[in-house]
Every structure is written in C-alpha cells, then in structure tokens.
Amino acid sequence: MLVVHDDLDLECGRIKVVRRGGAGGHRGVLSIIENVGARDFPRFKLGIGRPRPGEGVEAYVLQEPSSREKPSYEAMIDGSVEAARMVLTVGLEAAMNRFNRCDPQGEAV
C-alpha cells in the first residue's frame, strides 16, 4: 500500500516520500492508521502550503489551486508519478533519496 496525501506543512509543489509515521493532524491519514491498525506504510506527502490568515483549513484543502499555484501542482503530480514508478522499480529508499531533496521533477535543488 502506498498512501498519497496533501500536506499543509510542505511548501506548494514539494514532494516528500516517507517510510512510515503518524497522522500529523491529517484526518485522512489518521483514518487509514486506525483502519489498518498500523503506522508503518509508505506515503507520499504532496505539499499544498498553508492557507492565508483567516482562511479555514477545510475550505483551503478542498479548493482548486490558484492560477499562480497551478504549474507547481502540475509539476508535483508529474513528479509523484515518477516517484511511484521508482518505488515500484528500484524501491522506496531510492525514491526517498531522489525526491526528498529535490524539486517536484526530482532534480536536485
């Protein structure tokens, strides 16, 4: 199982590949942990950044990205597809090494 979810604590467009962990306040991840009965499943955290002051988190995570953010989202989606291919072909560790220090396309920053 590979879980892919949004992450408010990562800047918009950033991908982080992790081996396991807690929910970090993410209700969807918490639900998976509760239903699976374990925290040790790999996941891709896709950065969406934080809402503006006064903007509700629920509304923020459900809205379309702004036109300014759209290219970052598209690159992040393409990068996560490549990361998934890496996990399947060469393993989770390789994907972590490439994407956790890189931009959404997997290039060193």
State the Cα–Cα distance between residues 66 and 48, nearest whole angstrom. Answer: 11
Domains and CATH numbers, the chain: 3-99 (3.40.50.1470)
- The tens digit of pLDDT for each residue in 32-83 reads 999 999 999 999 999 999 998 999 998 999 999 999 999 999 999 999 999 9
Cα distances from 82 to residues 4, 42, 71, 89, in angstroms, run 13, 15, 17, 10
**Chain-centre distance of CA 95, in angstroms?**
13
Q: What is the pTM of this model?
A: 0.86
Residue count (the chain): 109
Determine phi and psi for 97, rounding to 5 degrees.
Answer: -65, -35
